[in-house]
Chains A and B, each alone.
Chain A
Amino acid sequence: MAERRQEEIVRFSVLNRLLHLFVMIGFAGLALTGFSLKFSSQTWAQAVAWILGGSCGIRSFHRIFAVLTYGCVVVHLLWLLYFRSALKGRLTGPDSLFPSLKDFRDLLEHVRYMFGRGKVPVFPRFSYWEKFDYWAILIGMNTMGATGLVLWFPEFFTSFFPGYILNVAQVLHLYEAIMAVALKFVVHIVTTHLRPEVFPLDRSIFNGRRRFERGRAGLIGILFFLTLSALGSGISEAEAVAVSPMPLTEEGRTRACLDCHRFPNVHTNEGAKSSQAFCLECHGSDSCTREDGTLLKVSIDSFGKGRHAHEACVMCHRDVARSPHKSQSGALCTHCHGVHGEGVAGDPHLRVQCQACHRKSLFVEYDSKKDLVILSHKDDKGVALALTDHSLPELRDRESCTRCHKAGNKVGAASAILPGKSILCIFCHNAPATLGHWAFGAAMLVFLFGLSGMLLLWFKGRIEGEEQSFHKKISVVSERLWETIFSRGIFRIFSVFFLDVILQRRLLRESVRRWFSHSLIYYGFLGKFVLGLLSFIFFGLFSTAQLSTAMLDKNNWLQAILNDLFGGIILIGLAFAVIQRIMVRPAHVLSEEQDSVALILVGVIVAGGFLLEGARIVLTGIPADKAIYSFIGYPVSTILRSITKDWQGAYGYLWWFHGITWAVFFAYLPFGKLKHILTTPLTLLIREGGTIERR
């Protein structure tokens, strides 16, 4: 050991190592305190502020860290001066950090290497990225220091410059900080420590030598801890329901203000009844009419016997008991009930008011202000309707769907009544746990048939010397499975699953290009599957939470972006694969017919999906500022709109085309080339399980 050490190059002097350590501490402290101020509305930042002693504490610590960090720059510059004048050292040339033309050539060559053409260039003592790191931080620290100083002593600096220099300094300080954190915390750590060549830690900056032993990195642990603590900050305390428990006074004497104006405890039957009595004082009589003469009497028959008989009126009509006596929101069902998912009505119908289906009135209209399909206050002849019937009709028949889903409707519904999504759709969409239409059931049957054929084929072979008995083979396999799951081997299975199945290590070993094109398709589908699965789980667990509703909503901006992103990634991957197949044709591409069938099927499904999305946007008339988040679907919709504006009839056919192509794809899975989606992960895992056994 000792001999080897002497041979090694001393890369960093003690001074430089010390400076790096201080800059590291100072920079982390600066980022922590600075971003705690910037993001002070977040709980984590307030926690940091609380620990450091409030906003004064944050400021003091920020300034201490700033002095520490900038002090390092000063020491470094002084040392450079000493190095130049006393030691007669050279500040330029190949051995220095001074940028040269060669660095630019190195960069180009290195990028060529990344694309698989050429070798890693021989870098000088300081490579171009190290120089970039150095100069970025030197320039950055000076601008940060200068702007920070301006913000530290605003009164002093504004005596030389006009006051808005403070605004400019704030902007520069913020953006420079974001850039510094984005580069130093991610790129610097990744390229110098986490790169496969140096993983897990390049110690040369701490012990000065070129790396030669690698210690265990606590770094990932720290990163995980930081992520965890950041994640934990989103929880706020539940707020108590404010209800007064006071009893009402007896009838029969002069009313005091609070006999009527006290807010009743609507969570008890007495409170609900007294609230109803307040409203029914007018709305129970025949003289209660609108200005145009529409009777606003609420029939006790329809209301008092229904499910809501023991609810206060103000539980649903929440904003109407006030002056002016006018509701902005209408009756709100979602205060108590969650929306229903895919399973019940085919689609969540989030842009349809609950009452539009759950009331007896047959007349609906689209309210562009609320962006909702609502019950109309007029029938189709323009006669005013009162909508006071509070009964809840049965909705199992398809008749009630035809309020909207009929040819020539004006609410932007498809003219066909489409079935709900099936569990098969969960690979790309959120879906209920039902099979849905018989066509999907048939696809599932064919799939299961093919799957059992595959399993039978596997069990035909010899398993641990057993050739004949099917029963014994199964018992041997389940025995091995049990042994593997309840042993340390399960962790190896997990790691193989992560590295080979999720990260596709084997493909990357073969070729970066293949990994890339396969990954695009694979991660696109994986992303959509994870989205579908997450919304399925979330909706199942917390059906009334805002997040689950947002996950069901196709027009939610994040859902729209993610869905289009993943779909787009699949399309790009397909294009990449087709180009490989037709134009480039490297040796490994065996363009079998089955491959082409698979590619074409996937292409048709994804393209059909985007077509459907475009048609949906045209059909439902989603405003452009909302639809724009579907950054592929929206351009498609503008093209479709230019063809014809009437997609009500065509939408049903498009839907069935998309659904049936997916059903065919799914049924075809265990038969063709696409089998690899099932078999490859399984084979890898079983092989790994096998190696454990042998040990």
Chain B
Amino acid sequence: MIMKRRLKYWLGSRGIIPVAAFTFFLCCSAKDDLSFAQENYQLIESSWFLNMKDFSRSAHGTLSCESCHGIMDESPGGHPLPGTSWSQRKGSTERYDYGRCRLCHKESYERYTKGVHAEALKKEKAAPQYLNLPGDKRAPTCGHCHSSHYEEARLSRVESGRRMTDVCGGCHLSQKKTYMDGFHGKTAVNLGDSLSAYCSDCHGAHNCVSLKTPEAALGACLRCHPKADLSFAKFVIHPAPPAEKDGKDGKKAQWITVIRVVTAAMSGLVLLVVLFSYGHSFLWILRELHEKLRRH
């Protein structure tokens, strides 16, 4: 009897409150969104129109157009004429000569020329078949990662790290996913812990290094983990299933297989145990409710 009354008390009168609150929150979360803010990063960058509000706030906001673009009428090609086929086929990031960035960003530029992205660019120039690859497989230059008109200056470490995750992750999808699944990504990006590691902390910002072997990775580990040794560096930071072309890296593939097998086995076990015990509890409660109702 006590139980009955109590159940009614909670579910009857007080039950309205959570239901009402639930509806309210559902309604709040279903708001309309028609703003330009949703626009894709890339689309804004290659647009013919400059958003002055964002530009004047950006790192390059004090520069005049001519500081980077030169005087259009005096440049060899002149202003790209509307309707000419080359202006329609090529994006602005492919057409712009990023050598001009070197005038101010000397160190970054030189680091870039030593890194793997520049190496890929050289390969691309040597072998024209690479030019037919889709955009996210092409070798990146300055403009692919940095927005020349809207990049903000003096970002905090956390804020630039968060943007970096999106920019690098735009092409390195599985790396971004595994990074965000791992401890570094969660603490650094989600919780804003500036002591944790962002992409460039291990791979470097402009001379992006691929840290495929533990020997190569150790140097990166040592920056934050002073006691790390070679065995420590065998921790798989990006445990995604290896791509076809990386098949040669046999040991890492083996480790990843072990990790995946353990994951599969554990999820199977969890599923079995949970299903069994939930079914058990449900049936039990059903039967007891039945008996209880009969007694009344």
Contacts and interface: CB of A to CB of B under 8 A. Distances in A.
B13 interface: yes
B12 A495 contact: yes
Interface string B22-35: 10010111111111
A206 interface: no
Interface in A657-678: none
A325 interface: yes
Contacts of B216: none
Interface in A168-202: 168, 170-172, 175-176, 178-179, 182-183, 186-187, 190-191, 195-197, 199-200
A1 interface: no
B82 interface: yes
Contact of A545 (B10, B32, B43, B255): B32
B292 interface: yes
B270 interface: yes
A166 B217 CA distance: 15
B52 interface: yes
A121 to B, nearest CB: 13
Contacts of B18: 224, 227-228
A167 B15 CA distance: 44
A584 interface: no
Interface in B46-101: 46-54, 65, 69, 72, 80, 82-83, 85, 87-92, 95
Given A55-B191, A116-B287, A323-B87, A164 B50 contact: no
A235 B29 contact: yes
Nearest to B273: A179
Interface string B261-290: 011001101100110011011011111111
B12 A494 contact: yes
A46 B191 contact: yes
B235 A46 contact: no
B281 A187 contact: yes
Given A199-B7, A231-B21, A499-B8, A163 B231 contact: yes
A529 B241 CA distance: 43
A243 B263 CA distance: 49
B161 interface: no
Contacts of A146: none
B193 interface: yes
A471 interface: no
B178 to A, nearest CB: 10
B187 interface: yes
Contacts of B229: 155, 158-159
B233 interface: yes
B243 interface: no
A55 B187 contact: yes
Interface in B227-273: 227-229, 231-236, 239, 255, 258-259, 262-263, 266-267, 269-270, 273
A410 interface: no
B11 A54 contact: no
Nearest to A114: B283
B3 interface: yes
Contact of A282 (B82, B180, B195): B82
A494 B266 contact: no
B6 interface: yes
Interface in B184-234: 186-187, 190-193, 195-196, 214, 225, 227-229, 231-234
Given A40-B186, A116-B287, A167-B235, A231 B88 contact: no
B30 A324 contact: no
A508 B8 CA distance: 17
B103 interface: no
Contacts of A196: 3, 285, 288-289, 292
A175 B289 CA distance: 33
Contacts of A197: 288, 292
Contacts of B33: 238, 545-546
A314 B43 CA distance: 12
Contact of B193 (A54, A234, A318, A548): A54
B30 A175 contact: no
A492 B7 CA distance: 11
Interface stretch (A81-89, A255-263, A356-364): A255-263
Interface string A189-221: 011000111011000000000000010110010
B104 interface: no
Contacts of B186: 37-38, 40-41, 55
Chain A: number of interface residues, binned into ranges = 35 or more
B47 A49 contact: no
Contacts of B233: 163
Contact of A171 (B28, B46, B263): B263
Contacts of A244: 51-53
A182 B43 contact: no
A121 B160 CA distance: 64
B293 interface: yes
B39 interface: yes
A262 B56 CA distance: 12
Contacts of B47: 263, 321-322
Interface in B146-202: 180, 182-183, 186-187, 190-193, 195-196
B41 interface: no
A161 interface: yes
| A56, A158, A505 pick with most chain B CB within 10 angstroms | A158
Given A113-B287, A228-B21, A232-B25, A172 B90 contact: no
A257 B82 contact: no
A319 B39 CA distance: 9
B51 A322 contact: no
A162 B255 CA distance: 10
A681 to B, nearest CB: 16
Contact of B37 (A58, A110, A240, A319): A240
B49 A261 contact: yes
B240 to A, nearest CB: 12
B52 A258 contact: yes
B48 A182 contact: no
Contact of B15 (A110, A227, A494, A509): A494
A468 to B, nearest CB: 38
B294 interface: yes
Given A258-B50, A323-B91, A183 B277 contact: yes
Given A200-B3, A323-B95, A491-B13, A46 B190 contact: yes
A45 B186 CA distance: 11
A269 interface: no
A162 to B, nearest CB: 5
B2 interface: yes
Contacts of A79: none
B6 A199 contact: yes
A55 B193 contact: yes
A393 interface: no
Contacts of B10: 220
6 contacts: A37-B187, A49-B191, A54-B193, A195-B288, A491-B12, A508-B293
Given A40-B186, A262-B50, A491-B13, 18 more contacts: A110-B284, A163-B233, A168-B258, A171-B266, A178-B270, A196-B3, A235-B28, A242-B36, A242-B37, A261-B65, A322-B43, A325-B87, A492-B12, A498-B11, A498-B15, A499-B11, A508-B290, A542-B32
Which 3 residue pairs spanning A and B have beta carbons closest together?
A163-B234, A495-B12, A40-B190
Interface of B: 2-3, 6-8, 10-18, 21-22, 25, 27-40, 43, 46-54, 65, 69, 72, 80, 82-83, 85, 87-92, 95, 180, 182-183, 186-187, 190-193, 195-196, 214, 225, 227-229, 231-236, 239, 255, 258-259, 262-263, 266-267, 269-270, 273-274, 277-278, 280-281, 283-290, 292-294
